[in-house]
Amino acid sequence: MFDMIDSTCCFSNNLEPEAIFSLGEYSKKILANEFETAISDGYIRFLAALTNEQDAAVADVLIETKNRLDNTKIKIEAVIERNLLLPGDKRECIRNRMINFDGIIVYDEKAKFHNINHYLLYYSTRVILLYDDKSDSGEDKKIIDDFFVASMLYKDVKKIFI
């Protein structure tokens, strides 16, 4: 299943909820440029968590960029929580976006990983950490944790401020 791990890149989103609503054209361009750089470096498989509005906004930029490039070799797969598939889940806007992905990976919360981001980190060669530099909440700890885990797994880590 993960035979393409050497050419897999993930985007680990650590954005504040309000940051995503101000994801302007400049931030989208930075994200799209990083995506294109990964493609030019040989990455063809991209993993993106799809658990909240922040993740969905990042995924939208990736999909728009892929469509603009018109490259059929590039695959973007959504990693979702199992409960997103259950009836009654309130994240309908996120669920509706799943059709735009090349594949869906269902993450089981009881799996061996601490959280969905650790799943992304484990199954990728390059890790792109996205966050805004104005964060002063608990997200800072998550950023450090993701960076630490990715470094311990000897991943190629890129930090992107948007």
**pLDDT digits 0-9 by tens, 31-71:** 899 999 999 999 999 998 887 777 888 888 899 999 999 88
Contacts of 76 (CB under 8 A, 6+ apart): 46, 48, 59, 62, 63, 66, 101, 102
Following DSSP, what letter does each residue of 112-151 receive, concatenated?
A: SSSSHHHHHHHT-SEEEEEE-TT--STHHHHHHHHHHHHH
Is a pLDDT exceeding 80 seen at residue 104? yes
pLDDT over 80 (residue 7): yes
Range 5-161: architecture per CATH: 3-Layer(aba) Sandwich (3.40)
Can you give the pLDDT at residue 102?
92
Q: Is the dihedral of CA 96, 122, 112, 144 positive or negative?
A: negative
d(CA 90, CA 84): 8
Q: Left if phi > 0, otherwise alpha if psi is -120 to 50, otherwise beta: which for 88? A: left
What's the pLDDT score for residue 2? 40
Lowest-confidence region among 3-7, 41-45, 145-149 = 3-7
Amino acid 3: pLDDT: 46
Q: Residue 89 has what pLDDT?
A: 65
Q: What is the mean pLDDT of the chain?
A: 77
pLDDT band at 14 (very low <50, low <70, confident <90, very high): low
CA 105 to chain centroid, in Å, comes to 12
Q: What pLDDT score does 62 carry?
A: 92
Tell how strand 156-161 and strand 75-81 pair up. unpaired
> Any idea how long the chain is?
162
Q: Are 6 and 136 spatial neighbours (Cβ–Cβ below 8 Å)? A: no
Question: Residue 69: what are its φ and ψ, rounded to 5°?
Answer: -75, -25
Asked whether 48 and 62 are in contact (CB, 8 A), the reply is yes
